[in-house]
Amino acid sequence: MKNLKDKTYKTLFIDAVELEKAPQYSKPVEMPHIYVERNTGSIVSGIDATIQYIKKYFDKDENYKLIETGSLGISSFDPVIGIQIHGRPLIFFKNVTFSYVSTILDSILNHILPESDFILGQISHTGLSSWADVPELYQLDIFAKQNRRILKNFGLIQPDFIESYIDYDGYKAFAETITRKTAAEVCNIIEKSGLRGRGGGAFNTGKKWQKALNTGKSQKYFICNADESDPGSFSGRLLAENNPHLVIEGILIGAYAVNARKAFIYIRNTYTLAIERLENALFQAQKAGLTGEDIFGSGINIEIEIFKGPGAYVCGEETALIASMEGERGTPKPKPPYPSEDGLFGQPTVVNNIETVCNVPYILNYGGDEFQKAGLNNSFGTKLFSISGKTDITGVIEIDLGTSVAEIMDICITKQRQPEIKAVHIGGPSGGFIDPDKFSINLDYETAIDNKLGLGSGSFLVLDKTNCIIDITKYFIKFINNESCGKCIPCREGSQRLLEILNRISEKPSEYNKHESLLRFKGVTQLEQISSLMQKTSLCGLGQNAPNTILSGLLRFRQEYEEHIYERQCEANVCRNLKEYYVVVDNCVGCGICAKKCPADAIIGTEHQAHFIIQDRCIKCGVCEASCKFNAIMIK
């Protein structure tokens, strides 16, 4: 090995990359720099049109620089643009759809602030004269309450330029690792840091690596699991799309640590932008000598390849993922043997979640002790949560493990609106509901499990009074039912039965016989019975964790179940097939009060004659029943 010890790591790349190309917001600029945050979310919100309008605005004037960066993480701000003009710090604007482009540019280029609705924040810097009355970006509640380690510099880094990543000290950890540390040392550091898998299993990552490192076989594989297909979880996409080099750096360190010469990124085929950027990043990394043969003269070869997952949630499970990479149906296999002994093509294979991988450079840069400064109990470090649902902001936030639900709520929803919140569903299909009384619980791995939750890959779905617990449960069970690989009976048939029972209790009986009512009433006990079977006997985590939603729902929202079953009442008025209102012709005097009150215009009839309810239009609000003085409206 060449003696690289005294070189600073950036000089390692000097031939391959032109670092001066990387724009630096902390330095003054001559011509205007326009940062556009381009990612899947912002594309849907129209960033591409915004970009077009920016180009149109400057037209032939080439005295500006357009910089395509990744996302800040909060997609409800999309489309976001940042502008830095001469002598001024970078200032960000939110929700800039194309129609506002010229207004904003008009004013800002003239050093005037536009309407405050658009202003997000600025990043002040010495030597640059700050915008008056504009908050500091990172002091905004939404960012200040986070602990952005992985997400550091997101929104500033240009995913398509390796220079930009390196400029923010990217690849430092890897360069130092490969030149100064042995594989066993790396495993050790990671083990000591207490980093646990972010993919759901929460297994100690360093231990897993050590196991693989110590198997005798020479051919080994490292797989980064980016097959994020859980509904409501989009942190993996955020990482891959907006900072692909971070992912690659993590993988390189991991592969080095377990002595794997070949690594894969298993990513869902629908993540087109992420794949594009990863491919580009891999190309650049190769050019910079970060992958390929004899990396930095260390004699070590590591290759990284992208595998596009053809789409099946269960392929996130590691044995299924491996099966699918081998060209099989993606069905899980019984463990043991574990992939770390007998994985891809029969060789020892380490599978790590993309977020786990992204934690690795941080640990190597700052050390395990620093890493452990965040976290609670045995859950160290930070965790990304994907916030969605009835919140004020939607997006990915990074907080310490062990943060309480209430604290997260404070980040994503205003205090006034919080009382409207009925529940949070955490952890996607493997997670469960939590009610406001329990918002004080801390989200570390152990406490979560004690409370019948799984953190899963960190989805945080906020529900308010207009959402029905049964409906959301049905949604997740339907998902499971579709996404179960269909191999084992408890999961395949169990989820089918669960769905049938849930359907039964959220609809009116089709025939009114004793048998059907009995089935409805038995529903709850059967839900529990099937859930317990699935937990205990399913082959893989999909089936084992699927009942969490049901069980936590039954535990915390039992009343809602009972209302559905016994009173055929859905408070949120989502389960509209629970009842059918109809007019008892004999009682109806044709006063027309109900028709006037009906908000859906579903009641018709001529005066003094019996009225009629158009079922297709009826939204089951019950106003008519309450308004009729003649008991002429009844429920079926």
Partner 1 sequence: MEKYISKLPDKVYKHELLSYLQEFQDMFGYIDLSFIEVLSKNSGIPSGKIFGITSFYNQFRFKPKGKFHIQVCEGSSCHVNAEIGLIEDIKKLIKADEKDTSNDGLYSLEIIPCMGACSQGPVISINGKFHTKVSKEDIKKIFSDLNL
Partner 2 sequence: MTITCYINNTKQKADSNETILSVLNRIGISIPTLCNMKELSPTGACRLCVVEDAETGELITSCSTPVRENMKIFTHSPEVINARKTIIELLLANHPENCLYCDKSGNCELQKLSEDLNIREKVFYGDLMSRKTDRSSPGIVRDMSKCILCGRCVRICDEILGISAIDLINRGKNTSIETVFQKGLFYSDCIHCGLCVTACPTGAIMAKSSINQVIEKLGNNKTTKSIMIPTTTIANIAVSYNIRKYEDARNMLVAALHSIGFNKVYPMSLFNDFFISEATSIIQNRLKNSPQPLIITDCPAIKKYIQIKEPELVEFLCKIPAPQQIGAKILSMQESTDLLMSVSPCIAHKYEAVQTQNTNKGVPEIDFVLTSDELDKLLKTLGITLPFTRKETPDNPANSDSSAGVFFETKHGITEGIVRELFHRSDLSVQLNRIIEIKPEKDFIEYEFEINKTYYSVACISGIENLVKYKKQILQGNYLFVEVRSCKSGCIDGCGQKLTDSQDSQKRLRKTLSEYDEKTSNNTPGKNPFIKGFYRNNKLGNIF
Contacting residues toward ligand SF4, per CB under 6 A: 314, 331-332, 484-488, 491-492, 538-540, 542-543
Query: With CB under 8 A as the contact rule, which of the stretches 9-17, 357-365, 386-394, 536-544 interacts with partner 2?
Result: 536-544
- The H helix count followed by the E strand count for the chain is 24, 20
Neighbours of 459 (CB within 10 A): 26
Q: Is 489 in the site for partner 2 (CB under 8 A)?
A: yes
Closest separation in Å from C-beta 483 to partner 2: 6
CB nearer partner 2, residue 290 or residue 314: 314
Tokens of 617: 């239009």
Of ligand SF4, partner 2, partner 1, none, which one does residue 216 interact with (CB within 5 to 8 Å by kind)? Answer: none
Closest separation in Å from C-beta 486 to partner 2: 3
Of ligand SF4, partner 1, partner 2, none, which one does residue 497 interact with (CB within 5 to 8 Å by kind)? Answer: partner 2
CB nearer partner 1, residue 128 or residue 393: 393
φ/ψ region of 427 (left if φ > 0, alpha if ψ in -120 to 50, else beta) reads left
Closest separation in Å from C-beta 496 to partner 1: 17
Query: Which secondary structure element, helix H or strand E, spans residue 346, and what is its range?
Result: none
CB nearer ligand FMN, residue 363 or residue 542: 542
Which residues of this chain interact with partner 1, rule CB under 8 A? 39-41, 43-45, 75-76, 78, 229-234, 237, 269-271, 308, 310-313, 324-331, 345, 386, 388-390, 393-395, 425, 428, 459, 461, 463, 467, 472, 475-476, 485, 574, 576
CA distance 427 to 556: 16
CA distance 178 to 287: 17
CB nearer ligand SF4, residue 82 or residue 339: 339
Closest separation in Å from C-beta 75 to partner 1: 4
Residue 224 contacts residue 278 (beta carbons within 8 Å): no
CA distance 67 to 54: 12
CB contact burial 409-434 (16+ within 10 A = b; e otherwise):
bebbbeeeeeeebbbbbbbbbbbbbb
Residue 226 contacts residue 275 (beta carbons within 8 Å): no
Closest separation in Å from C-beta 475 to ligand SF4: 18
Of ligand SF4, partner 2, partner 1, none, which one does residue 45 interact with (CB within 5 to 8 Å by kind)? Answer: partner 1
Query: With CB under 8 A as the contact rule, which of the stretches 41-49, 182-190, 460-468, 488-496 interacts with partner 2?
Result: 488-496
Closest separation in Å from C-beta 483 to ligand SF4: 7
Closest separation in Å from C-beta 481 to ligand SF4: 10
- Sign of the C-alpha dihedral computed for residues 183, 186, 191 and 192 taken in this order: positive
Instruction: Look at residues 531, 578, 572, 575 and name the one whose alpha carbon lies nearest to residue 555.
Output: 531
> DSSP for 480-505?
HHHHS-S-SHHHHHHHHHHHHHHHHH
Tell me phi and psi for residue 136, to 5 degrees. Answer: -70, 130
CA distance 220 to 216: 10
Closest separation in Å from C-beta 297 to partner 1: 32
Query: Which secondary structure element, helix H or strand E, spans residue 633, and what is its range?
Result: strand 633-635
Q: Is 312 in the site for partner 2 (CB under 8 A)?
A: yes
Radius of gyration of the chain from its Cα atoms, rounded to whole angstroms: 28
CB nearer partner 2, residue 283 or residue 521: 521
Residue with tokens 């008519």: 624
Of ligand SF4, partner 1, partner 2, none, which one does residue 40 interact with (CB within 5 to 8 Å by kind)? Answer: partner 1
Please provide the distance, in angstroms rounded to a whole number, between the alpha carbons at the two ends of the chain. 82
Query: With CB under 8 A as the contact rule, which of the stretches 37-45, 333-341, 461-469, 577-585 interacts with partner 2?
Result: 333-341
Tell me phi and psi for residue 589, to 5 degrees. Answer: -100, -5
Of partner 1, partner 2, ligand FMN, none, which one does residue 456 interact with (CB within 5 to 8 Å by kind)? Answer: none
CB nearer ligand SF4, residue 201 or residue 486: 486
Closest separation in Å from C-beta 485 to partner 1: 8
Tokens of 627: 């308004």
Q: Is 494 in the site for partner 2 (CB under 8 A)?
A: yes
CB nearer partner 1, residue 286 or residue 573: 573
Of partner 1, ligand FMN, partner 2, none, which one does residue 495 interact with (CB within 5 to 8 Å by kind)? Answer: partner 2
Residue 217 contacts residue 349 (beta carbons within 8 Å): no
CA distance 169 to 115: 36
Residue with tokens 């640059």: 128
DSSP state of 377: T
Q: Is 536 in the site for partner 2 (CB under 8 A)?
A: yes
- Sign of the C-alpha dihedral computed for residues 142, 143, 144 and 150 taken in this order: positive
Of partner 1, ligand FMN, partner 2, none, which one does residue 526 interact with (CB within 5 to 8 Å by kind)? Answer: partner 2
CA distance 384 to 394: 13
Of ligand FMN, partner 2, partner 1, none, which one does residue 554 interact with (CB within 5 to 8 Å by kind)? Answer: none
Q: Is 329 in the site for partner 2 (CB under 8 A)?
A: yes
What pairs with residue 380 in β-bridges?
A: 375
Query: With CB under 8 A as the contact rule, which of the stretches 282-290, 532-540, 559-567, 570-578 interacts with partner 2?
Result: 532-540
Q: Is 405 in the site for partner 2 (CB under 8 A)?
A: no
Q: What's the number of CA atoms in the CB half-sphere (13 Å) around residue 203?
A: 16
Of partner 2, ligand FMN, ligand SF4, none, which one does residue 352 interact with (CB within 5 to 8 Å by kind)? Answer: ligand FMN
Q: Which of 388, 506, 538, 545 binds partner 2 (CB under 8 A)?
A: 538
Contacts with partner 2 by CB under 8 A lie at 312, 314, 329, 333-334, 336, 480-490, 492-497, 500, 519, 526, 529-530, 533, 536-539
